[in-house]
A and B are shown apart, each in its own frame.
Chain A
């Protein structure tokens, strides 16, 4: 069974530029999460999707961050414009709803904003 796929693995951009991250969850998983992981810290939830609906985006900075999950499968997280403080690892995870909240994580995208 293929795991959660994320791309790109690494991204370096200059501040004020836009950037997008892509995630393909495990087949059949209807719940998808985007997390932010700062250096030396645990992941923090940005947004959660149930199928194509964003059911919790309370921690997403909506002035510059946006996300979509068209058709309830793949998802894209976008930052526009990026700031220096956005440098971090962006993790995508998926789970099967009702399965005791066991979440499966992708390898992450490491973003560096110069």
Chain B
């Protein structure tokens, strides 16, 4: 059973702090990793994707991937109240038609002003 694990939270951080969201995955064959943000009642929207070990930065967001540890993280710098949402981690990429992303349950982030 392929799984993606995330702490459900809530993770509470003050405005301006760094929020750190973590995710582990069970399938060593996974090759692509995605972070989606989902506001309550809305559909998921892509924040970042990462394929290679190391860090990938995009504005206030940094994704980190460690394939040896099967670990993915998302850092949000200078957290804003508008970042309050559920963050979904997903893993995919088995080079087989019809294989879709495996999603975690999501971590709820609350940024207080």
Judge: A and B partners, yes or no: no
Interface residues of A (CB under 8 A from B): none
